[in-house]
């Protein structure tokens, strides 16, 4: 099995993501693949900034949230076939509702712990991986989104966690 990893600049725009998918599909013809993707370029920084604003009771975090959500939904719509749009958008709406609840909680308690920030930052990779797996499926190929939290466990050193190999 071959593992392909694509960083943030590789998945910066719908056009770049489409190119990444081309690479994945070409490689898939030769051998089985596992694909790892980063959050879309700039998203991790946006998640950190949004969380920080919420912790300081700055309501502008909501605008940042809306822009982040809009970017992901627009990217999904640009990459997915009509047949996949409805289901995928519904799933993304659910994911962003969870993120909104967490960041709203940060705003309410005016506290951002390392644990909460780690959780918030995970949304970038989770959304990117989900959208890309759905885009591959839109092209009629097999792909399955795997939430990395189901297979990778870490110690409780939030902010600098290490993979728990036990």
- Where do the domains of the chain lie, and which CATH numbers do they carry? 2-150 (3.40.1160.10)
What count of other Cβ atoms lies within 10 Å of the Cβ of residue 7?
A: 12
DSSP annotation of 156: S
Quote the radius of gyration of the chain (alpha carbons, Å).
17
Burial of 128 (0-12, 13-18, 19+ CB in 10 A): buried
Contact 27, 33 (CB under 8 A): yes
pLDDT tens digits for 26-54?
A: 988 778 899 999 999 999 999 999 999 99
Q: What is the pLDDT of residue 111?
A: 97
Note the pLDDT of residue 154. 78
Cβ distance 80 to 145 under 8 Å?
no
CA dihedral 103, 69, 45, 16 (to 10 degrees): 160
Q: Which tens digits make up the pLDDT trace of 109-157?
A: 999 999 999 999 999 999 999 999 999 999 999 999 988 877 777 777 7
Helix (H, G, I), strand (E, B) or coil at 89: helix
| pLDDT for the residue 31 | 81
Percent over 70 (pLDDT), the chain? 99
pLDDT at 166: 63
| pLDDT one-digit tens code per residue, 60-108 | 999 999 999 999 999 999 999 888 888 999 999 999 999 999 999 999 9
């Amino acid at each position: 099995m071959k593992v392909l990893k694509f960083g943030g600049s590789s998945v910066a725009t719908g056009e770049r993501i489409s190119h990444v998918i081309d690479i994945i599909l070409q490689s898939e013809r030769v051998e089985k693949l596992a694909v790892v993707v980063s959050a879309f370029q700039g998203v991790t920084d946006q998640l950190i900034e949004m969380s920080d604003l919420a912790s300081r009771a700055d309501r502008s975090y909501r605008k940042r949230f809306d822009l982040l959500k809009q970017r992901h939904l627009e990217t999904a719509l640009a990459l997915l076939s009509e047949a996949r749009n409805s289901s995928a958008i519904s799933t993304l709406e659910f994911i962003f509702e969870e993120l909104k609840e967490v960041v709203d909680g940060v705003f309410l308690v005016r506290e951002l712990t390392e644990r909460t920030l780690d959780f918030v930052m995970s949304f970038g990779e989770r959304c990117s991986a989900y959208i890309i797996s759905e885009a591959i499926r839109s092209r009629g190929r097999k792909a399955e989104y795997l939430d990395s939290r189901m297979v990778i466990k870490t110690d409780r050193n939030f902010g600098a966690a290490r993979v728990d190999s036990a």
